[in-house]
Structure 1
Amino acid sequence: MILFEIPSGYLADAIGRKKTLIFGSLLGALGYVIYSLSFSFSGFLLAMVTLGLGQSLISGSDSAMLYETLMSMKKAGEYSRYEGRIIAFGSLMETIGAPLGGLLAAMSLRYPFIAQAVVALIAVPAALTLVEPQGEIAAQGRSANLLPALKKSLLLDRKLLSLVCYSALVGGGTYTMAKSIPYWYNETVQSSALELGLFWSALNLSAALFSAYAYRLERKINRLIFMATIGFVVSLSFIGLGYAPTYLAIALLFLFYCVRGLATPILKNYINDHTSSDIRATVLSVRMFLVYVIFAALFPLMGWVGDMSSWGNALVFAGAIFAFFTSIAVLA
């Protein structure tokens, strides 16, 4: 998934975002079908590779196509509003799906994957109905100039590079936190899979509410202040989760998810505002590539710290790292 992230964005800018969204949706559905039917490690590996390729094709293409569509409608200034609604709807669906997944898992660990395969199939006809803006259609076929343009944009535009790196740090933090919560929850709260599903639903509901109204905050707050606040909350949440009593830690998690709901649409809009149309999906894919690299580099270290001491110490370790690097990115 990491290796194909940037090439998939490049492909989207070259042949069209709609095509890559269709291919990505097909692979995503196929991946969960394989997952549902597999009984061996080879089947598991094939499912994960298929899902990774599918997600890579979708990543960057969806946001780029949304921004280009709004530009063609002369509504680019409303990007964070619509991106926020999309994220809110996705979080709301996850809110509904989490307890259902817990119930299905209580009956059989295979049932959630079968249900996910059915849900993933819905994306295929949805992708087929998308309409590409005329400007995007005209831009296709310019793939020979994409890599030089990307290199020029990221290396010579210091502001864009800083925005991409900062957004990737925040994205890496939220992704790492999402993967850390089950470990922390099992070590600290020690409850059932169903209760974890309900807790996860409540967290995602808070993210959904704040994503839906992120555009209102964006219009009122200074960018630098917003970015500094986001970095502070992400770092504090990791450290607090490691040190704080259970109820305070849960409150911090809700704060974290509220901030997560705000950060994703607003930071993506910051990047889109400084990116040209012909490399938009590629730049957004670079961001996601860095998110996965951060997670892949940090999570094994957290696991090692957790094995040597406790998961609480692993969270504090991650919080210190995010505090250091987000501070540098904001200053840049």
Structure 2
Amino acid sequence: MEKNLQNNIWKYALLLIANKRIFVAVLGAYYLTIPDVTPKIIGTILLAGSLSGFLFEIPSGYMSDKIGHKLTLVISRVLMLVSTIFFLLANNIAFLILGAIFLSASAAFQSGTGSAFMHETLQGLKREQDYARVMGKISSIGFAVPIIFMVLVPFLVSVSYKTPFLIALVIDVIGLLAAISLVVPPVPQEHIEEIGATNFKQVLQEGYRLNFFSIALFSGIISGTLFSVGGFRAPYQSFLEIPVIWYGVFFGIGRAFASLMLAYSGRIKKYITLPSFYGFQLIIYTLLILVLGIISSWWVVVTAFIVINAFQWGLSKIDEGYQLDIIKSSKFKATLLSTGSQIDRAVSAVSSFGVGFIIERVSYQYGFLYSGIIFLVILFPLYLYIVRGYKTGAYNNVDVVN
């Protein structure tokens, strides 16, 4: 059994490789090749995808805790496969929207569930304390390997915009097979029965008792805002007349730095505190989004997107590690982790539509400028609340783990 559980680690790394959308660097530009698509329509597509993720997020986590994390991961891979098929066959706005909906639904079933599954795998291996280090390393692999495809994708566009989606379809089949082959970590039967007997209200009460929701809210707002900003990366680069063949290179550079940070997630987490981690994100992302809103020089814009991309994903496992530190004793990890992702989806939906609307009515710069200002106004008071809670011992579990 131990060897089979150990194999879950490399299988999950393969799953993370398949999760990365190799066509993401050109997806926004691909939208613009479809008849009648405008920045406002792109905002609507992102809204539809984010809204579906919002609607699926909590039910998927709750269902995951009931039917099992492995089965939920398999469902996620099937939804991802369907999403790629819609993008591949798209010749109208409806197919793009369906592709976005199934992609977000897949992410919703993956969110929280994958983390909980691997947390339990490491518990079974008696390596729970290595979560940030192990997940950081396999996430690093999950980012590093797809970079090759992401860099090559824009060159494949010269053949056809459909080619990247065809390659992604093959990768999705491999990801589905990896999910099916995962081994379920041993969980006591009473654990499963207790989940089935507990109602959703009690799960939320547990999150409140653990002081989890302030962190989930902060993290969700950051993720949702960065998603909406990143959704207009390719269209803005196209507007600045940057050749499409460079999109993958720029995106790959950001992912390469993210991969490097992920590899050292465990070490980084040992030398920072919870308030300093979230304070750094508040400062760096506010500055970068405002830079996009103030400066239109192509190399400044490209640099800002690269740095956002690097930190957004490079710090993700540290963020996840802090959240799991807080809820580590909970039987409802997937459900609680999904609340943060649901906030992410809600913010993404509103922000994406709003940015797209402003871009079409005014300009790209004003869309980013307003986004940065609202980001700071909302998160600064919440950050002060987190700092005060940390000083009063509201997040004691974090100190115990570190």
What is the TM-score of this pair, normalised by structure 2?
0.76
Label 1:131 to 1:138 Cα distance change in 2 as closer, same or farther (>3 A).
farther
Aligned match of 1:242 in 293, 311, 318? 293
Report deviation, 1:185: 1.8
1:52-93 residue CA offsets vs partner (Å, 9 max, x unmatched): 433322222111111122223332222222222233223223
Kindly indicate whether the alpha-carbon contact (under 8 Å) linking 1:167 and 1:268 is maintained by their aligned counterparts in 2: no
Give 2:337's aligned residue. 284
For structure 1, list consecutive stretches of 5 or more residues without a partner in the other structure. Answer: none
Which has the larger displacement, 8-17 or 179-188?
179-188
Q: For residues 177-220 of structure 1, what are the alpha-carbon distances to aligned partners after superposition, in whole Å with 9 as ceiling and x for unaligned?
A: 321322332233x1222111221111111111111112211101
Partner of 1:330: 383
In the other structure, the counterpart of 2:273 is 222
Residue identity opposite 2:225 in structure 1:
G
Equivalent position of 2:179 in the other structure: 127
Kindly indicate whether residue 95 of structure 2 is the aligned counterpart of residue 95 of structure 1. Answer: no
Aligned-pair distance for 1:265? 0.6
1:154 alignment partner in structure 2 = 207
The Cα shift of 1:257 comes to 3.0
Picking from 199, 204, 226, the partner of 1:174 is: 226
Task: Say if 1:83 and 1:329 are closer, same or farther in 2 by CA, change over 3 A.
Answer: farther
The match for 1:82 is 134
1:101–1:147 CA distance, 2 compared to 1 (3 A): same
| Aligned 8 A contact 1:306 1:314 in 2 | yes
Q: 2:255 aligns with which of 204, 211, 220?
A: 204
Distance (whole Å) between structure 2 residues aligned to residue 46 and residue 246 of structure 1: 32
Match for 1:115: what amino acid?
Answer: I
Question: Would the alpha carbon gap of residues 328 and 213 (structure 1) be closer, same or farther in structure 2, given more than 3 Å must change?
Answer: same
- Higher helix proportion (structure 1 or 2): 1
- Distance of 1:265 and 1:136 partners within structure 2: 27
Which whole-Å CA distance do the structure 2 matches of 1:47 and 1:35 have between them?
Answer: 5
Between the aligned residues of both structures, percent identity stands at 23
Residue 146 of structure 1: CA displacement?
A: 4.5
Partner of 1:302: 355
Cα distance change of structure 1 residues 48 and 279 upon mapping to structure 2, 3 Å threshold = same
Report SS of the residue matched to 1:106: coil
SS at match of 2:232: helix
2:23 aligned partner: none
Task: Give the CA RMSD over aligned residues.
Answer: 2.2
Q: How far apart, CA to CA, are the structure 1 residues paired with 2:90 and 2:357?
A: 30
The change in CA–CA distance for 1:98 and 1:136 in structure 2 (over 3 A counts) is farther
**Distance change >3 Å, CA 136–CA 168, structure 1 → 2:** farther
Residue 140 (str. 1) matches residue 192 (str. 2): yes
| Greater alpha carbon shift after TM alignment, 287-296 vs 32-41 | 32-41
State yes or no: 1:293 paired with 2:328: no
Aligned counterpart for 1:67 among listed residues 110, 119, 124: 119
Match of 1:33 in 2: 85
Instruction: Tell me: CA distance 1:262–1:329, structure 2 relative to 1, closer, same or farther (3 Å).
Output: farther
Q: 1:237: Cα distance to partner? A: 0.7
Which runs of 5 or more structure 2 residues have no equivalent in the other structure?
1-51, 386-402
Shift in alpha-carbon separation, 1:108–1:254, aligned structure 2, 3 A: closer
Measured after TM superposition, the shift of residue 44 of structure 1 is 4.7
> Residue type matched to 1:15 in 2?
I
- The range that moved more, 21-30 or 315-324, is 21-30
8 A contact 1:242–1:316 mirrored in 2: yes
Amino acid at match of 1:219: K
Q: 2:283 maps to what in 1? A: 232
Distance apart, 1:41 and its partner CA: 5.3
Q: Give the superposition deviation at 1:47.
A: 4.2
Paired with 2:201 and 2:152, the residues of 1 have a C-alpha distance of 47
Gap change, CA 1:28 and 1:255, over 3 Å in 2? closer
Q: Report the Cα distance in structure 2 between the residues aligned to 1:89 and 1:282, rounded to whole angstroms.
A: 26
Corresponding residue to 1:314 among 336, 343, 367: 367
Equivalent-residue separation in structure 1 for 2:267 and 2:225 (angstroms): 24
The 5 A counterparts of 1:254-269 are 254-269=306-321
Q: Is residue 79–residue 103 contact of structure 2 (8 Å, CA) maintained in 1?
A: yes
Could you tell me how far 1:40 is from its partner in structure 2?
Answer: 5.3
**8 Å contact 1:174–1:260 — kept in the other structure?**
yes
Distance (Å, rounded) in 2 between the aligned partners of 1:237 and 1:317: 13
Whether the 8 Å CA contact 2:140–2:262 is kept in 1: the answer is yes
C-alpha deviation, 1:39, in angstroms: 4.9
Q: Is the 8 A contact 2:156 2:164 kept in 1?
A: yes
Quick one: distance in 1 between partners of 2:353 and 2:267?
38
Deviations 1:105-155 (A, max 9, x none): 222122222111111111112112212221276533423305133221233
Contact (CA 8 Å) 2:251, 2:309: kept in 1 or not? Answer: no
CA distance in 2, matches of 1:187, 1:264: 30
